[in-house]
Amino acid sequence: MALAYTLGLRALSLVGVVLVVLVLVVVTLGATGFSDRMLTAIVSEEMRGQRQALAETIRDPERLEETLRERRIDLEEFYGLDDPWYTRLPAMVGRVLTLDLGSARNLRSFDGSSRVTDIVLERVPYSMMLVTTSLVITAIIGLWLGAKLATRVGTRSDRLTSYLAAASNALPAWWAGILLILVLSFQLRIFPSGGLYSSPPPEGELLRFMDLLWHAALPVLTLVLVSVGAWTYVVRTMLLNTAQEFHVTAARARGLPEGQVMRRHILRVAAPPIATNIILALTGSIGGAILTETVFNWPGMGRLYFDAITTADEAVIVALTFMFTLMYVAARFVLEILYVVLDPRVRYTAQ
Amino acid sequence: MNVQQSHGQPLLSVRDLRLSYAADRGDVRAVDGVSFDLEAGQTLAIVGESGSGKTSLALALLRLLPRNTSQFEGQITLNGMDCMALSDGDFRDRVRWRQISMVFQGATESLNPIYKVGHQVREVLTARGDQSRQAADERTRELLDMVRLPTETFNRYPHELSGGMKQRIAVASALALNPTLILLDEPTSALDVGVQAQIMNLFKRLKSNLGVASIFISHDIALASDLADYIAVMYAGRLVEIGPSEDILGAPSHPYTQKLLAAIPRLRSDTPLEFIPGAPPDLSDPPTGCRFHPRCEFAMDRCRVDGPREFVTASGQSLAACWLLDERTS
């Protein structure tokens, strides 16, 4: 009972988080004038093009100005500039909250649809292919290596790995990506430098898929390189903290085999914080990786977010922010439940 | 140091045991040449101040060596078996918890917070694959009963139990494999007096019912006297006096033992409590000669230079490492 009550409270506060994030988006886009400025600039840019085009067919200057004025009003209506930001943006948020993500103004899916849902659904698999895959690889290496190091603290291999971990953590993803392209793509010609498929793409489903994997190899390698160090080090430290707790010595004193001490008395006890890392990272991975996707010209979610911001496509920005926040909040809620399962000390009392 | 308590083979025989830790300021000699014998079913109390090496001695007996151990040598013979000759794996499989088990000072810290206490006791029984789950469950309930805990405690988590109950769980776990020797390392120090008395009574009952030998480590000589057949007094990594409890308590020979006893409060006594001036020595740089000489009111010139041999005390039943006994006998 108390458990349901507290989980309900948590759910409520997480819903609050979603609302606050959306308000913040409205404020940053609207109240700062960013959105209006960007849209006005886009309208002016288009008007310049239209004026040149119309000037060739409409000779009468007055009619030209009249037509241009009409066009401008049409454009401003199209971009929503006829409404002030404080009615335009909240309306967008309200619609998004009913799970209607709306339509993009400029961005299109590969087959031309402007529905945000279409655009997103098309990109999510590509992002997951890159970021989620690399995360899974990173987490497996990090857990395995971190556990190994935790059992041999202070040895040469431990110190060497710690230095490498720091170096990996300091490595910028875009720089590592460019370096890998230079060496493995231009010099050794083992991997392609970017994109999804070769041109022309190979015939047949299987060959096409293999081609896609081949193109994904370098960006995945980049992401693993820059994140595996931090993972290894964090896992090592968490396990070490647990390994130094006295109950581990007591477990050894009871003559339990070393493998069982590691599994049941160290790994299992350190599981909650590690699970937190994994679940939050998995959720975040769906959001893509802006820099790596840009360097490798990979049409994922990171690139989509980036493009939406540079073209001031408010509908897409609001929809993506809503989606990511919702996923984060859902992950947090899963974690709340997971903690109760993993750690009996987490007691929920209704107070 | 060695007292021949009987003519049979002792259960445990320790000779010249040494355990040192590497530290920045040099090796810390926590256990520095300790020898004693223990008969089956008997209780030996090891008393001394904090930092005298009592816990290190217990850890050495279980070969639970900290990572910075720099020296570990000497002889440990258990039931005629040379423990030091065993590999780490053999020692773990054959000695640890099967023959020698231990109850730690911090009951809370010695239990894994995320498992039910019953499962933690059971784990000892099933870990080596020598018992089925059902048999182990059965045995666990039997053990809970032995330490006077209700059966439903089996499904409790450590944080749901009181300190005394947790220490009972630790005792149940220590008894699980029917060891011949239990090390009790300050098992009641973290408990309040009432619970302390209950746990001491539990030890006494187990001693008479099960006949298991124990080494009771404590800084409280009065408490130790409640359980011990023999008392060994430890100072700065060495045993300074060892003998039957009555003898040590009634006629202490070593000045350090005398001081320890004089520091015990007595009911309605007008004489002020004595204390030992100075502080225990730094074990990375112990005093020359007798380690107690800087704090000893009887210190002579030779005490500052020569470490004392052990001498049989006046009662003829104990041994003490003090030059004063040499004076007396000569």
Q: Where are the alpha helices (DSSP H) in B156-269?
A: 163-175, 193-210, 221-225, 245-250, 255-262
d(CA B62, CA B151) in angstroms, rounded, equals 30
pLDDT band at B328 (very low <50, low <70, confident <90, very high): low
Which pTM value belongs to this model?
Answer: 0.79
Does A351 have pLDDT greater than 50? no
pLDDT in tens, A191-210: 998 888 888 888 888 999 99
Higher pLDDT residue, B73 or B278? Answer: B73
**Which residues are bridge partners to B15 per DSSP?**
B75
Q: Is B112 within 8 Å of A247 when comparing Cβ atoms? A: yes
Tell me what the mean pLDDT of segment A319-332 comes to.
90
Q: What is the pLDDT of residues A26-69, one digit of tens each?
A: 888 888 888 888 888 888 888 888 888 888 888 888 888 888 88
A20-37 pLDDT, tens digit per residue, is: 998 898 888 888 888 888
Question: Which pLDDT score is estimated for A55?
Answer: 82
Closest chain A CA to residue B123: A256
How many CB atoms neighbour CB A52 within 10 A?
A: 9
Interval A90-123: pLDDT, tens:
888 888 888 888 888 888 888 888 888 899 999 9
φ/ψ of B37, rounded to 5, equals -120, 155
Asked if B129 is an interface residue toward chain A (Cβ–Cβ < 8 A), one would say: no
Q: What is the pLDDT of residue B39?
A: 93
Query: Residue B8: pLDDT band by 50, 70, 90 thresholds?
Result: low
Cα(B317)–Cα(A238) distance, rounded to whole angstroms? 53
Q: Calculate how close chain A gets to B134, using CA atoms only, in Å.
A: 19
* Residue closest to B71 by CA, chosen among B35, B14, B33: B33
Residue B266 has pLDDT above 90, yes or no: no
Q: How is domain B12-99+182-329 classified at the CATH fold level?
A: Rossmann fold (3.40.50)
Tell me the CA distances in angstroms from A173 to A251, B24, B187, one per residue in order.
Answer: 42, 41, 55
Q: Measuring CA to CA, how many Å separate B167 from each of A105, A345, B44, B142, B216?
A: 69, 19, 20, 16, 15
Residue B99 near residue B181 (C-beta atoms within 8 A): yes
From residue B122, alpha-carbon distances to B24, B107, B202, B273 in Å are 41, 17, 21, 47
Nearest CA in chain B to A343: B114
pLDDT of B157 strictly over 70: yes
| Banded pLDDT at B167 (limits 50, 70, 90) | very high
Helical segments of A98-155, H only:
116-127, 133-150
Cross-chain residue pair B114–A247, CB shorter than 8 Å: no
User: Which chain A residues are closer than 8 Å to B104 by Cβ?
Assistant: 246, 250, 253
What average pLDDT does the segment B115-129 reach?
A: 90
Nearest-CA distance B46 → chain A (Å): 20
Task: Calculate mean pLDDT across residues B49-71.
Answer: 91
Q: In this predicted model, what pLDDT tens digit does every residue of B203-234 receive, in sequence order?
A: 999 999 998 999 999 998 888 988 999 999 99
- Please report, rounded to a whole number, the percentage of residues in chain B having pLDDT higher than 90: 62
Amino acid identity of A161? Answer: T
Arithmetic mean of pLDDT, B20-32: 91
Q: The complex's ipTM? A: 0.85
- Residue A350 reports pLDDT greater than 50: no
Alpha helix ranges (H) inside chain B: 54-61, 88-94, 107-110, 117-126, 133-146, 163-175, 193-210, 221-225, 245-250, 255-262, 301-305, 323-329
For residues A138-148, give the mean pLDDT.
Answer: 93
Give the distance from residue B270's alpha carbon to the nearest chain A alpha carbon, in angstroms. Answer: 44
Q: Which CATH number is associated with domain A122-312?
A: 1.10.3720.10
DSSP, residue by residue, A240-279: HHHHTSHHHHHHHHTT--HHHIIIIIIIHHHHHHHHHHHH
- pLDDT at residue A347 tops 70: no
Say whether A269 and B93 touch across the interface (CB within 8 A).
Answer: no
What residues does each domain of chain A span?
2-97, 122-312
As a whole number of angstroms, the distance between CA B274 and CA B66 comes to: 36
Phi-psi map region of B16: left, alpha, beta (phi>0 left; psi -120 to 50 alpha)? left
Q: Are strands B319-320 and B238-244 parallel, antiparallel or unpaired?
A: antiparallel
Q: How far apart are alpha carbons B318 and B254 in whole angstroms?
A: 10
Q: List the single residue in B95, B110, B157 with the smallest CB-CB distance to A246.
A: B110
Q: B104 vs A246: CB contact, 8 Å cut-off?
A: yes
- Which residue from A253, A269, A344 is facing B157, i.e. has the nearest CB? A344
Share above pLDDT 70 across residues of chain B, in percent, rounded to a whole number: 96
Confirm or reject contact between A159 and chain B (CB < 8 A).
Answer: no
Give the count of alpha carbons within 13 A of B128, CB side only: 18
Residues B89/B95/B101/B104 CA torsion (nearest 10 deg): -40
Residue B144 — pLDDT band, cuts 50, 70, 90? very high
B114 and A250 in contact by Cβ < 8 A?
A: no
Residues of B with Cβ-Cβ distance to A252 under 8 angstroms: 64
The candidate with the shortest Cα–Cα distance to B12, out of B175, B180, B178, B176, is: B180
Stretch B226-244: mean pLDDT: 94
Q: Which of A153, A249, A254 sits opposite B97 (nearest CB)?
A: A254
**Cβ distance of B110 and A250 shorter than 8 Å:** yes
Checking if the pLDDT of B284 tops 90, the result is no
Q: Say yes or no: A342 contacts chain B, CB-CB below 8 A.
A: yes
Q: Which residues numbered 226-285 in A keep a CB inside 8 Å of some CB on B?
A: 245-247, 249-257, 260, 264-265, 268-269
Q: pLDDT tens-digit profile of B73-88?
A: 999 999 999 999 999 9
Q: What is the CA radius of gyration of chain A?
A: 26
Range of lowest pLDDT (A229-233, A311-315, B227-231, B272-276): B272-276
* Contact at CB, B157 and A253, closer than 8 angstroms: no
C-beta atoms of A255 and B93 within 8 A: yes
pLDDT in tens, A154-190: 889 899 998 999 999 999 998 999 999 999 999 998 8
The domain segmentation of chain B, as residue ranges, is 12-99+182-329, 109-178
Q: Does A152 touch chain B (CB under 8 A)?
A: no
**pLDDT computed for residue B7 by the predictor:** 53
Q: Which of A310, A60, A42, A62 is nearest to A50 (CA)?
A: A42
Q: Please choose, from the candidates A165, A139, A185, A202, the residue with its C-alpha nearest in 3D space to the C-alpha of residue A295.
A: A185
